[in-house]
Chains A and B, each alone.
Chain A
């Protein structure tokens, strides 16, 4: 990524890459990993958090054996824009009970994609609520599964009761161009939001 800059000193500023992240959220099996994989320059990597990290006191070892086998995976991908600008994509763990991890992911995020499946729209409510509450710019991307009925974006917007400013797109998470367009929409939305609210309120 940034070879040949070994003379860089601590806090030398300009030469160190800027990293940004976009979250990809949505219900289980809605295509989060597929979307990340469609645009990532690396095979989506998987990392794990252990449930023992959910603020459990360090010296409380009771039940650790059982907990240490309970992990939650996050898939992520990377897009190197250039030497000094790298975008990371994180597929958020889908299950509600892992939401404590979302705060870790959402902190400092540029924006988010909520992937939705029209057959299971309710699965995306949780993610939408979360990003609305947090004030994180997000777009809703309807993953057009083969065999699922197609609905116009406006019908999806109504069904999800989205603010007018939230972009709604139809996409095919398997297609690179389609996934790319979704990410462009997130960044453009973040730009518009940034122009209106120079200092977005983060909790």
Chain B
């Protein structure tokens, strides 16, 4: 699939069909079967936490899942992971991770927390806790 960009001449293509310029061996959006959006987009802020609905060791039976889906569930079983952390951990674009998480939501394998918009911060107490936490650094 990397030889479809038309840049290399035929002989070069033969000799080195795969090089750095070809990008990753699997293009990230191949993992999403070409999807760039998920219905859950609006819920998947970078700091939304993804929480597994199962425990470590339980089999993940869904045969439609890719290895990347399973990796995400397994990591989230250890501790809730933010969307940003999952993207960084698996070295995937945020858009790809969002689509994969959307699949896991549909399959009922994870749920996500909704980050609290500042307009809804319960009171100054949470912010005071943040300040205290920072001062303790």
What residue in chain A is nearest B56 (Cβ atoms)? A6
**B116/A18 in contact, CB under 8 A:** yes
Q: Residues on A close to B: CB < 8 A?
A: 1-3, 6, 8, 10-11, 16-21, 39, 45-50, 52-53, 56, 58, 65-66, 68-69, 71, 74, 76, 78-79, 81-82, 85-88, 90, 104-105, 107-111, 176-177, 180, 183-184, 187-188, 190-191, 194-195, 198-200, 202
What residue in chain B is nearest A41 (Cβ atoms)? B137
Which residues from B are CB-within-8-Å of A108? 45, 47, 115-118
**A88/B46 in contact, CB under 8 A:** yes
Contacts A10-B111, A85-B130, A194-B118 aside, 15 further interface pairs with beta carbons under 8 A come to A2-B80, A17-B113, A20-B118, A39-B137, A46-B88, A47-B93, A49-B95, A65-B4, A105-B46, A108-B116, A183-B134, A187-B127, A187-B131, A190-B118, A190-B127
Q: Residues on B close to A: CB < 8 A?
A: 4-5, 21, 23, 27-29, 34-37, 45-49, 51, 53, 55, 78-80, 82, 84-85, 87-89, 93-95, 111, 113, 115-119, 121, 124, 126-135, 137
Q: Quick one: given A82-B133, A85-B129, A187-B134, are A195 and B124 in contact (CB under 8 Å)?
A: yes
State which of A3, A56, A109, A111 has its C-beta within 8 Å of the C-beta of B36. A56
Which residues from B are CB-within-8-Å of A187? 127, 130-131, 134
Chain B nearest Cβ from A84, distance in angstroms: 9
A-B contact pairs, 5 of them (CB 8 A): A16-B51, A47-B84, A65-B4, A88-B47, A180-B135
**A8/B51 in contact, CB under 8 A:** yes
**A81/B130 in contact, CB under 8 A:** yes
What residue in chain B is nearest A137 (Cβ atoms)? B118
With A and B bound together, what is the CA distance between A107 and B45 in angstroms? 8
- A-B CB proximity, top 8 nearest: A81-B133, A45-B88, A47-B87, A19-B47, A53-B95, A65-B5, A1-B79, A47-B88
Which residues from B are CB-within-8-Å of A202? 117, 119
